[in-house]
Structures are given as structure tokens and as C-alpha cells.
Structure 1
Amino acid sequence: MSVNVYDQANALESALRKSEEFTNLKELYETVNGNPDSKKLFDEFRNIQMELQTKQMNGEDILDNDVERAQQSAQAIEEDENIKQLMEAEQKLSSLIQDLNRVIMKPIEELYKLNN
């Protein structure tokens, strides 16, 4: 019997979209986007993160000024309850995805353990 793993992956995607972790994240993301102050802080934080990642990937130096901006932005979002809840929900979803990845990788790990 052959199993189409893509069908299973699509079913997993659908289940993930219906999961409590994802629906909670989606609601909190909408809350952040619906609050002008939270949205502004969140967008600024993400832009700074992207700038730093781009610099890092391009081999550019990250200056003290960059680090200070990132720290100030991180502090500001920690003080915003909407963003704080969003980040906590994102972490829960990330944990779920890590757990799913462990399950998916289990056959390969077992295979290699058998051949040692």
C-alpha cells in the first residue's frame, strides 16, 4: 500500500490551521494589527530585525547603534501587552511545530540507529 505523503502533509497543514495554537496566534495578530500603537511598535521591531539579519547575511558589521536600537525596540514591545501575548502565542506554535518535526523525523532517526 502506497501512501501519498503530500496528501498527509496537506491534512497536517489543515489541522495546524485549526489548532488552538494557530487560531490563538491569528487572533492575537489581528489584535496587534487593530491597535495603531501596537502595530507601529511591532512593525518597527520587525523592520529592525530584518535590517540586522540582512546586514549579517551580507557580512556587514552590526554597529553599537544598531544593537541599541534593537534593544530599545525589544524593550518597548515587552511593555505592550498585545505584542507580549502575540509573542507568547508564537512561541507556543513554534513548540508545536518542533514537536511535529520530531515526529516526522522519527523514522529517519530510527533507520540510522538500526545501522549503527
Structure 2
Amino acid sequence: MTINIYDIANDLEKGIRETEQFTNLKQAYADVNADPEAKVKFDRFREVQVTIQEKQMSGQEIDEETIDLAQEVAEEVQNNKAIVQLMEREQAMSLIINDLNRIIMTPLQELYDVKEN
């Protein structure tokens, strides 16, 4: 019997969309986008995150100016209830994704963890 792994992956994707965690995340994101002040702060936060990630991936050092900006933006978003709720819901969704990744990687982990006698 041949299994189409991509059909299974597509079913998983649909299942993720139906989880309570994804529904809550989607609503929290809509709430942030509906609040002009929260949206501006969140967009700025994401821009700083992307800048830092790009620097890290290219091997560049993160300068003091970028660190200071990141701290300033982090403080701003921590004072916004809508953004805090969005971040909490992102964390809940991240737990699911991490669990799924662990499950998906189990066959490889088992393969390489086999001890020879």
C-alpha cells in the first residue's frame, strides 16, 4: 500500500486550522489589526524582529542601537493588552507546532538512536 505523505500533510494543515488554539490566534490577530495603535506597535515589533533575525542569519553582530530599539519596542508591546494576548496565543500555537515536529521526527530519531549490540 502506497501512502501519499503529502495528502496526510494537507490533512494535518486543515486540522491545525480547526484547532481552538489557531482559532484563538486568528481572533487575537484580528483584534490587534482592528486597533490602529496596537497594529502600529505590533508591525514595528515584527520589523525589529526580522531585522535581528536577518543579521543573525547573515552572521552580523547585533549593534547596540538595534538592541536598544528592540528593548524599547518590547516594552511598548508588553503594555498593550491586545498584543500581549496575541503573543500568548502565538505561544499556545507554537507548543502545538513543536509537539507535531517532535512526532514527525520520531521515525528519524528512532532510526539514529538504535544501539548496536
Alpha-carbon distance, 1:3 to partner: 1.1
- Separation (CA, whole Å) in 1 of partners of 2:18 and 2:53: 31
Tell me: CA distance 1:108–1:78, structure 2 relative to 1, closer, same or farther (3 Å).
same
Alpha-carbon distance, 1:78 to partner: 0.6
Pairwise mapping of residues 102-113 of structure 1 onto structure 2 (< 5 A)?
102-113=102-113
Tell me: CA distance 1:106–1:77, structure 2 relative to 1, closer, same or farther (3 Å).
same
Alpha-carbon distance, 1:112 to partner: 2.3
For this pair of structures, how many residues does the alignment match? 116
Alpha-carbon distance, 1:115 to partner: 4.9
- Separation (CA, whole Å) in 2 of partners of 1:65 and 1:109: 41
> Sequence identity, in percent?
46
Q: Where does structure 1 differ by over 4 angstroms across 4 or more consecutive aligned residues?
A: none
Which residue number corresponds to residue 20 of structure 1? 20
Which residue number corresponds to residue 57 of structure 2? 57
Tell me: CA distance 1:102–1:39, structure 2 relative to 1, closer, same or farther (3 Å).
same
Alpha-carbon distance, 1:15 to partner: 0.1
Which residue number corresponds to residue 87 of structure 2? 87
Amino acid at match of 1:97: I
Amino acid at match of 2:39: K
Give the TM-score normalised by structure 2. 0.91
Alpha-carbon distance, 1:38 to partner: 0.4
Alpha-carbon distance, 1:48 to partner: 1.3
- Separation (CA, whole Å) in 1 of partners of 2:9 and 2:21: 18
Give the TM-score normalised by structure 1. 0.91
Amino acid at match of 2:33: N
- Separation (CA, whole Å) in 2 of partners of 1:83 and 1:92: 14
Tell me: CA distance 1:33–1:63, structure 2 relative to 1, closer, same or farther (3 Å).
same
Where does structure 2 lack aligned partners over 5 or more consecutive residues?
Answer: none
- Equivalent position SS for 1:62: coil
Deviations 1:30-88 (A, max 9, x none): 00000001001001111111222223334444221211111010011011000000001
Where does structure 1 lack aligned partners over 5 or more consecutive residues?
Answer: none
- Separation (CA, whole Å) in 2 of partners of 1:96 and 1:56: 26
